[in-house]
Structure 1
Amino acid sequence: MKKFALISLFALILFACGQQPKSQEKAAEAAAVLSVDELLEKAPELANKEVTVKGTVFHVCQQGGERCFLMGSTEDFSIRIEAGEKIGAFTQEQMGSDLEIVGILKEVLTEADAHNPGKEHGEEGEEHVEDAETEAAHQVLAENQEAAERIFFIEGLSVKEMTE
C-alpha cells in the first residue's frame, strides 16, 4: 500500500510539472505587449484575437472621443482604436500620451471583401446567369482584393495610461 501511495504521489508530481509550461506559455503570450509596428507586422496572424498594444496617441476624434489613433515609430505606422462600451471614450487630454490598449484586433472589410464572386445574386433560390461583363467585373474585384492592402483596427476592451 505504501508503494502504491508513493508511486501515485510521484505520478501526480510529474503530471503537475508537465502541465506548468503550457499555462506559463499562455500567460506569457497573453501578457506580451506589442508596439504598433510589431502589431501591424503580425496583424494577419492575430486577426480576431485579443492583443495588447502600446503606442503614443496622435489623434483623438473630437466628436465624442469614440476612437483614437496610436502612432508607432512614425505616423506612417498607426492603428485605430475604437473605444466601444468597455472603454467609453478617449479624451483630448490623452493626445501625446502613451497608452496600453487591450482589445480584439479586427480587419476592415471593404465592399470587395464582402462581395463573393460565384454566389447567387438577388432573391434566394433565384437563378442567376452571369454574362461576360459580370464575370469580368468579378475577376477585377478578385484581383484587386488580393492586391489590396489589409487594414486593421482594435475594438478596445481596456486602456491603461503609461506614466514615465
Structure 2
Amino acid sequence: MKKIALLSFLMVFLFSCGQQAKKSETKSEDTPKEVVVMSVDQVLEQASDLAEKEIAVKGTVMHVCQQGGQRCFLMGSNEDITIRVEAGEKIGAFSQEQMGSELEITGVLKEVLTDADAHNPGAEHGEAEHEEDAETQDAHKVLAENQAAAERVFFIEGVTVKEL
C-alpha cells in the first residue's frame, strides 16, 4: 500500500512539474518582443541597417496630410530632420489635432526604391550573353553612377500609434 501511495505521489509530482514548464514556455512565446523606442535622428542614422525591420520611433508631428490623413511627418532634433509615416490599415488615419503632439509609432521601416535601384541590367536581360550597343552601355553606366550617388529615402509603414 505504501509503494502504491509513493508511486502515485511521484507520478502526480512529475506530471505537475511538466505542466508548469509548458505554461512558462507558452508565456514566453506570447509576450511581445520589446522594441527599443528610438528618436527620428537615431532611426535615420541607422536606417540602412534597420530597413525592413519593425521599429518604434518617437517624434513630434510637424505635418499631417490634409487629404485623409494617410501620412504624417515626425520631426527629429530640428525641422530639417524628418521621417514620413504612412498610416496604413491598422492605424487608419492621422488627425489634424495631432499636429505638434508627441507620438510613438511602431512600424516597419521601408526604403523608397529609385529608378536606378529598380533598373538592374543583369536581371533585366537574363542570364544569357548578349551584345549591347555603345548607347545602352553608356545608359547603364549613367544609371549605376546615379544609383551610387542617390540619396536613400526611408519611411515608416505604421502599425500602431500612441500619443505621449
**TM interval, short-chain normalised:** 0.7 to 0.9
Give the equivalent residue in structure 1 for 2:162.
160
CA distance in 2, matches of 1:33, 1:125: 44
1:118 to 2:118 alignment:
no
Give the equivalent residue in structure 1 for 2:93.
89
CA distance in 2, matches of 1:145, 1:30: 35
Q: Considering only CA atoms, is the larger Rg found in Structure 1 or Structure 2?
A: 2
Question: TM-score of the superposition, structure 2-length normalised?
Answer: 0.76
Unaligned residue ranges in structure 2 (runs of 5+): 1-20, 22-27
Question: TM-score of the superposition, structure 1-length normalised?
Answer: 0.76
Cα displacement string for residues 39-93 of structure 1 (whole angstroms, at most 9, x for unaligned residues) = 0001000000000000000000000000000000111110000000010000000
Unaligned residue ranges in structure 1 (runs of 5+): 1-15, 17-22
Residue from 129, 132, 137 that aligns with 1:130: 132
Q: Is the 8 A contact 1:66 1:90 kept in 2?
A: yes
RMSD: 2.6
Q: Is the 8 A contact 1:68 1:90 kept in 2?
A: yes
Q: Is the 8 A contact 1:67 1:82 kept in 2?
A: yes
Cα displacement string for residues 81-127 of structure 1 (whole angstroms, at most 9, x for unaligned residues) = 00000100000000000000000000001111101023345xx8998
State the identity as a percent: 72
Number of equivalences: 139
TM superposition outliers: structure 1 runs of 4+ over 2 Å: 118-121, 124-129
Please identify, of 87-96 and 140-149, the stretch whose mean Cα deviation from structure 2 is larger.
140-149
